[in-house]
Structure 1
């Protein structure tokens, strides 16, 4: 049976700013030692899925995460600035505690002063993923290495959630991934897995579809 196209939305490994609970946004922070180990482990796992293509944000933490996959597959990585993390304005480099204390109202709405609106993030990231997925063969698999907020908004947009329901999707942990599958009715994408760190068991046997 045809599986249709699939997309693995893979968050980058840990950075020092992740460990310090600092808002990274588009500041170009590299992976730390833990993040490099996470990327190597996850890269070996995802290589077993035999992806047809790999695309990544051009920020180092995502690009180096993607590199840990393609060393096992022989692919090259395509880079797309549309996959960058949400720009955080005045919050970039600030800790969560600083943000809560200095911008309590904006924090409650999760709207960084001078930052990028979530709807804009969803538009550009989902468009970047759709561009890459369009080149897949009929049952092809795409791996997208990107960032937590960027991927969360892209997934919500791609599966058709309205903005007032985006919060139902939980965050992605460092180096975990979510999987989208092509809907059998041709109506776009559906969420098959979310925030996973192990490979799915196939086939899935169920009365559901």
Structure 2
């Protein structure tokens, strides 16, 4: 066995349903999201995680705590697993963003927001830092956010930026599994545990198709 990382996206929020850009806004899980977190925890517990770390935003932390309670592990907090900052877009719907910033919407670059490359580096570095604390056969669960996880995964895999669109988005409380090999990290599963709801996140619209 070798070290593994499970990248778990948080459960549904009201802003997900309304297609509002959440970013760093601290939005809680809704009732559906809490149920999704419990379901995901029941499935991921079978993987016997040895460490759980979460974004400091409550939607991710509450998702992680559902698993922590079930497997008897404390949840560590790392701000580097936050979602991509949305700048002036936070709290606005996709329609509002497209109407007010058509060029920026097409590029998916929010005024005052975080560039995708900075988010990718931030999240991937945090994954490496926490994975380094695992035993050789340890399993780390990272509870984070849709865009942050997708971008971090792409960076950790060493994909050039032009190939990042090849990795699709994560549904609420779905996860990806990464394993460390002799030549670096590889993707074993992506968007596993998908529920029959569409992907709604702060990621590029085409990542959600």
By the TM > 0.5 criterion, same fold?
Answer: yes
How do residues 86-97 of structure 1 correspond to structure 2 at under 5 angstroms?
A: 86-97=84-95
Name the counterpart of 2:118.
Answer: 120
Unaligned runs of 5+ in 1: 199-209
The reply to whether residue 187 of structure 1 matches residue 183 of structure 2 is yes
Q: What whole-Å deviation, never above 9, does each CA across 1:27-85 have from its counterpart, x for those lacking one?
A: 00000000000000001111111101000001000000000001111100110000000
How far apart, CA to CA, are the structure 1 residues paired with 2:25 and 2:126? 20
Aligned to 1:77: 75
Partner of 1:11: 9
Which protein shows a greater Rg?
1
Q: Secondary structure at the match of 1:178?
A: strand
2:33 alignment partner in structure 1: 35
1:160-199 aligned at under 5 Å gives the runs 160-183=158-181, 186-197=182-193
Deviations 1:126-152 (A, max 9, x none): 111111100111111110000000000
CA deviation after TM superposition for structure 1 residue 182, in Å? 1.1
Aligned residues: 194
2:52 corresponds, among 35, 54, 67, to 54
Q: Are residue 132 (structure 1) and residue 130 (structure 2) matched?
A: yes
Unmatched 5+ residue regions in structure 2?
195-209
Quote the Cα distance in structure 2 between the aligned partners of 1:72 and 1:164. Answer: 40
Query: Runs of 4 or more off by more than 4 Å in structure 1?
Result: none
Match of 1:204 in 2: none
Separation in 1 of the partners of 2:134 and 2:184? 14
Structure 1 partner of 2:140: 142
- SS of the equivalent of 1:42 reads helix
Give the secondary-structure state (helix, strand or coil) at the position aligned to 1:138. coil
Structure 2 CA distance, aligned partners of 1:187 and 1:119?
23
Distance 1:101 1:165 in 2: 28
Greater fraction helix: 2
Deviation by residue 1:149-194 (Cα, 9 ceiling, x = unmatched)? 00001000000101111111100000000000112xx221011110
SS in 2 for 1:48: helix
TM superposition score normalised by structure 2: 0.91
